[in-house]
Amino acid sequence: MSARVLDLQRDLLDRQIVRSDGALLGKVDDLELTESEPGTLHVTALLVGPDPLSRRLGGWLGEWLRSTAHRLDSRPTPGLRRLDAALVVDVGSAVTVALPSEAEPVSALESWMCEHVVRRIPGSGHESE
C-alpha cells in the first residue's frame, strides 16, 4: 500500500483485520510507530492481541486481560502478533492484509472467547456482509 496520511485513531485502531480472502484475523489493538524525520511518524506494524490491548486499557481491567491471556497461551510472547505495515493491502471499513491462508486468529484468549462466549450470543452465527 502506498504511503498516505491517516488519522490513526479513527482509521486504524480497533478496525477489524481481514486476510485478502476475507477471513477474520482480529482487531488492530495498537500501533508501532517509527520517526523517520523529526516530527514525521510512520506506522511500521499493527500490533494485535490481548497484550497491546491490555496496555491501552490500563488499570485492573488491562491487568486482568493480560494475565488471563498469559494463562491461556503458552507461546513465548503470548497474546501478541506483530503484522508488518508492508502487509497492509487496503484500509477501509476493515484493514486488509496479505497473509497466507494458514494464518490463524491472534491468540488463545480470542479463540476461547469466540468458542465459549461469542458463539452463545443469539445471532452471532450471522457474519456481517
Q: What's the CA gap between 62 and 51, in Å, rounded?
A: 9
Contact 118, 26 (CB under 8 A): no
pLDDT at 74 over 60: yes
Mean pLDDT within 62-83: 72
* CA 34 – CA 129 distance, rounded (Å): 34
Sign, CA torsion 117/119/122/125: positive
Instruction: Write down the pTM of the prediction.
Output: 0.65
Quick one: pLDDT band at residue 84, thresholds 50, 70, 90?
confident
CATH of 8-120, one of 3.30.450.30, 3.40.50.300, 2.30.30.240, 3.90.550.10: 2.30.30.240
Residue 16 pLDDT more than 50? yes
Predicted confidence band of residue 123 (pLDDT cuts 50, 70, 90) = confident
* Cell representation of residue 5: 496520511
Dihedral angle computed from the Cα positions of residues 83, 86, 91 and 95, in that order, rounded to the nearest 10 degrees = -20
Q: pLDDT tens digits for 51-72?
A: 777 777 888 888 887 787 777 7
End-to-end Cα, the chain, rounded Å: 24
When pLDDT is averaged across residues 87-100 and rounded to a whole number, the result is 85
